[in-house]
């Protein structure tokens, strides 16, 4: 179940094996294979406020470890952890690491010169990455890992939600907030542990799943991969982590995903819309972009699903979730019913409000494919008079490598406003190679109406004066562009003199 006040009074559960029915063998060769998670061990977590780290801390705490952690500032996540009895610090200093410490865990965002990380290594403490900790925790559960260039958060949330609704009480860690699950992470008493498997920095190689899925494989994270072949090879290594008695669910209509599972020893089941796939969706209807479809499994109709979230891409995500949940022992009809009640995850076409007939939504999309399918779904669902998109590119390297793909991805938008590229992870030299004005120029070449505006305040005031009743504004990107959504609603309330619903 999700982290909440109701979990705090439960009896602590020691870190003992749960004897899952599949995937119990250790993966040889891991540098963490000699680490044993035992009750009472002291674990310090650097960057504990992140969604994944926060969830992993809760899992450790629930299972009897003595957890402490730190982050760069106070947050709701730190407050939740403090409420569980975890010692947290809203600043980072070597003194935060307990005098007696068995294991130090750091998130991928922590840089090598972080003072706590430097101190931990100087003290000779055992240090692992967050993804390595997830792998250790998977050894205590039936691990389910969802990988792919797109759709990971939604499919992970779908899978965790179905298992929860079916009474299997899973633990889970998702890279987004999920209101129906009480947040982005949760600790349950069941044997399943559902995690989002990220390919950045090859971190998903540290996982130990019994069941896994590969939703799709495209070019991304080219700051740490050489090319598409290098990415496919990385997904292939991830696929090989699934044991012979497990299951790998793969998009049978994604050529690169199928390349990644070629020659795999573990059982493979495919999903898609046509062809010789094991799990097939037969589209029965569509209302405001939300699809109803019949699910066929190896030639037999097993269920009908009516999704409450728009977008054909979510049909594929739902097929993958159904395959994983059915392999986990849930009946297809039960899976279908739960999928129909799933309302999505945070920052995925999340409606912030509507004022004077203008609807404002926010989305995390930051890759060309994500942008294209999301904007198409937004147009189908809202049927706006005009759709304004405020897109904040994420990373200079991603923008440079995929520039033309980005420029072609805004075909469903009427107006695109582009602020400066969100600077994260890239080097200063990479930053000098491209800026947001180059993307605006490429969108113009594709026949689009694009505008460069670096000032968030001017974006808000400009849109506030231009939008009209029936319009849709989508803020989009993995950075802080979501701040514009609420600021625009406030401006509309002040200038139009109209009420409106608040953030959803």
- Mean pLDDT (whole number) for 148-163: 97
Among 64-78, 354-368, 431-445, the least confident range: 64-78
pLDDT at 16: 32
Say whether pLDDT at 30 is over 90: no
Of 410, 355, 413, which Cα lies nearest the Cα of 384? 413
Q: Judge if 357 and 266 occupy the same domain.
A: no
Q: Judge if 157 and 259 occupy the same domain.
A: yes
Q: Judge if 85 and 201 occupy the same domain.
A: no
pLDDT at 498: 56
Of 123, 114, 108, 75, which Cα lies nearest the Cα of 200? 108
Q: Judge if 49 and 93 occupy the same domain.
A: yes
Range of the structural domain that residue 253 is part of? 141-340
Q: Judge if 157 and 300 occupy the same domain.
A: yes
pLDDT at 32: 66
Q: How much of the chain exceeds pLDDT 90, in percent? A: 81
- In sequence order, which residues have a C-beta less than 8 Å from that of residue 216 and are 6 or more positions away? 148, 149, 150, 151, 251, 254, 256, 257, 369
- For 298-356, how does the pLDDT look when each residue is reduced to its tens digit (9 = 90+)? 999 999 999 999 999 999 999 999 999 999 999 999 999 999 999 999 999 999 999 99
User: Within 13 A of 450's CA, how many CA atoms are on the CB side?
Assistant: 25
What does residue 300 show for φ and ψ, rounded to 5 degrees? Answer: -115, 130
Q: Judge if 306 and 164 occupy the same domain.
A: yes
Whether 253 maps to a domain, the answer reads yes
pLDDT at 244: 95
- Mean pLDDT (whole number) for 191-197: 96
Q: How confident is the model at residue 29 (pLDDT cuts 50, 70, 90)?
A: very low
**Mean predicted lDDT score pLDDT of the chain:** 91
CA angle 492, 468, 480 (to 5 degrees): 50
Of 287, 318, 288, 286, which Cα lies nearest the Cα of 303? 318
pLDDT at 37: 84
Whether 4 maps to a domain, the answer reads no
Q: How would you write 129-183 as a 3-class SS string? A: EHHHHHHHHHCCCEEEEEECCCCHHHHHHHHHHHHHHCCCCCEEECCCCCHHHCC
Local structure of 416: helix, strand or coil? strand
Q: Judge if 282 and 404 occupy the same domain.
A: no
- In sequence order, which residues have a C-beta less than 8 Å from that of residue 124 and are 6 or more positions away? none
pLDDT at 427: 86
Say whether pLDDT at 15 is over 90: no
- In sequence order, which residues have a C-beta less than 8 Å from that of residue 362 and are 6 or more positions away? 347, 349, 350, 352, 474, 475, 476, 481, 482, 485
Q: Judge if 110 and 183 occupy the same domain.
A: no
- Cα–Cα distance for residue pair 215/234, rounded to 1 Å: 14
Of 351, 350, 359, which Cα lies nearest the Cα of 467? 359
Whether 114 maps to a domain, the answer reads yes
- Mean pLDDT (whole number) for 34-53: 89
Write the DSSP string, 438-483.
HHHHHHHHTT--EEE---HHHHHHHHHHH--TT-EEEEE-SSSTTH
Q: How much of the chain exceeds pLDDT 70, in percent? A: 92
pLDDT at 130: 93
What does residue 471 show for φ and ψ, rounded to 5 degrees? Answer: -85, 155
Whether 33 maps to a domain, the answer reads no
Residues 500 and 492: beta-carbon distance below 8 Å: yes
Does the CA dihedral 307-409-147-485 come out positive or negative? negative
Whether 7 maps to a domain, the answer reads no
- For 214-264, how does the pLDDT look when each residue is reduced to its tens digit (9 = 90+)? 999 999 998 889 999 999 999 999 999 999 999 999 999 999 999 999 999
Q: How would you write 252-274 as a 3-class SS string? A: CCCHHHHHHCCCCCCCEEEEECC
Q: Judge if 120 and 146 occupy the same domain.
A: no
Whether 18 maps to a domain, the answer reads no
pLDDT at 14: 34
pLDDT at 6: 29
pLDDT at 332: 97
Of 390, 389, 392, which Cα lies nearest the Cα of 412? 389
Whether 13 maps to a domain, the answer reads no
What's 123's DSSP letter?
Answer: T
Of 247, 243, 216, 244, which Cα lies nearest the Cα of 232? 216
- Mean pLDDT (whole number) for 148-172: 97
**pTM for the model:** 0.88
Strands 450-452 and 415-418: parallel
- For 349-383, how does the pLDDT look when each residue is reduced to its tens digit (9 = 90+)? 999 999 999 999 999 999 999 999 999 999 999 99
- Cα–Cα distance for residue pair 361/384, rounded to 1 Å: 12
Residues 186 and 348: beta-carbon distance below 8 Å: no
- Cα–Cα distance for residue pair 148/476, rounded to 1 Å: 20
pLDDT at 93: 96
CATH number at residue 169: 3.40.1190.10
Residues 315 and 281: beta-carbon distance below 8 Å: yes
- Residue 189, Ramachandran bin (φ over 0: left; ψ between -120 and 50: alpha; else beta): alpha
- For 443-492, how does the pLDDT look when each residue is reduced to its tens digit (9 = 90+)? 999 999 999 999 999 999 999 999 999 999 999 999 999 999 999 999 99
- Cα–Cα distance for residue pair 318/310, rounded to 1 Å: 12
Per DSSP, what are the bridge partners of residue 213? Answer: 146, 249
Total domains in the chain come to 3
Per DSSP, what are the bridge partners of residue 286? Answer: 291
Q: How confident is the model at residue 9 (pLDDT cuts 50, 70, 90)?
A: very low
Residues 484 and 456: beta-carbon distance below 8 Å: yes
- In sequence order, which residues have a C-beta less than 8 Å from that of residue 405 and are 6 or more positions away? 368, 369
Domain boundary residue among 319, 340, 361? 340
Q: Judge if 360 and 452 occupy the same domain.
A: yes
Q: Judge if 176 and 252 occupy the same domain.
A: yes
CATH number at residue 79: 3.40.50.720
Q: Judge if 321 and 374 occupy the same domain.
A: no
Say whether pLDDT at 96 is over 70: yes
């Amino acid at each position: 179940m999700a982290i909440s006040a109701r979990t705090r009074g439960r009896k602590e559960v020691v870190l003992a094996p749960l004897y899952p029915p599949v995937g119990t063998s250790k993966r040889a060769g891991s540098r963490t294979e000699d680490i044993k998670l035992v009750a009472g061990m002291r674990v310090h977590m650097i960057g504990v406020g992140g969604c994944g780290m926060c969830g992993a801390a809760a899992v450790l705490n629930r299972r009897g470890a003595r957890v402490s952690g730190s982050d760069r500032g106070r947050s709701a996540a730190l407050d939740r952890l403090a409420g569980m009895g975890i010692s947290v610090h809203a600043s980072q200093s070597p003194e935060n690491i307990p005098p007696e410490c068995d294991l130090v865990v750091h998130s991928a965002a922590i840089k090598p010169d972080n003072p706590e990380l430097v101190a931990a290594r100087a003290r000779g403490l055992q240090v692992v990455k967050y993804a390595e900790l997830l792998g250790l925790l998977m050894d205590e559960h039936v691990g389910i890992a969802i990988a792919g260039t797109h759709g990971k958060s939604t499919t992970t949330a779908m899978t965790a939600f179905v298992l929860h609704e079916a009474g299997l009480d899973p633990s889970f860690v998702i890279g987004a907030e999920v209101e129906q699950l009480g947040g982005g992470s949760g600790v349950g008493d069941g044997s399943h542990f559902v995690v989002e498997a990220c390919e950045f920095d090859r971190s998903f190689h540290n996982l130990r799943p019994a069941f896994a899925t590969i939703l799709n494989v495209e070019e991304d994270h080219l700051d740490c991969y050489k090319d598409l072949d290098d990415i496919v090879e990385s997904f292939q290594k991830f696929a090989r982590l699934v044991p012979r008695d497990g299951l790998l669910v793969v998009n049978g209509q994604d050529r690169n995903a199928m390349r990644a599972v070629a020659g795999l020893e573990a059982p493979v089941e495919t999903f898609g819309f046509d062809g010789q796939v094991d799990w097939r969706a037969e589209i029965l209807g569509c209302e405001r972009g939300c699809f109803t479809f019949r699910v066929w499994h190896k030639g037999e109709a097993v269920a009908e699903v009516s999704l409450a979230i728009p977008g054909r891409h979510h049909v594929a995500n739902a097929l993958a979730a159904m395959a994983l949940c059915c392999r986990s022992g849930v009946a297809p009809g039960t899976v279908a019913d739960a999928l129909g009640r799933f309302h999505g995850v945070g920052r995925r076409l999340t409606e912030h409000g509507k004022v004077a007939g203008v609807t404002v939504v926010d989305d995390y999309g930051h890759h060309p494919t994500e942008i294209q399918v999301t904007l198409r779904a937004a147009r189908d669902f809202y049927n706006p008079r005009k759709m304004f998109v405020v897109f904040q590119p994420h990373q200079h390297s991603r923008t440079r490598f995929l520039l033309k793909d980005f420029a072609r991805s805004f075909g469903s938008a009427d107006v695109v406003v582009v602020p400066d590229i969100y600077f994260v992870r890239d080097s200063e030299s990479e930053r000098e190679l491209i800026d947001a004005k180059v993307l605006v120029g490429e969108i113009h070449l594709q026949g689009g109406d694009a505008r460069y505006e670096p000032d968030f305040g001017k974006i808000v005031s400009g849109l506030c004066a231009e939008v009209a009743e029936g319009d849709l504004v989508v803020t989009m990107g993995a950075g802080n562009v979501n701040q514009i959504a609420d600021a625009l609603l406030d401006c509309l309330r002040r200038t139009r003199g109209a009420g409106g619903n608040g953030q959803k």
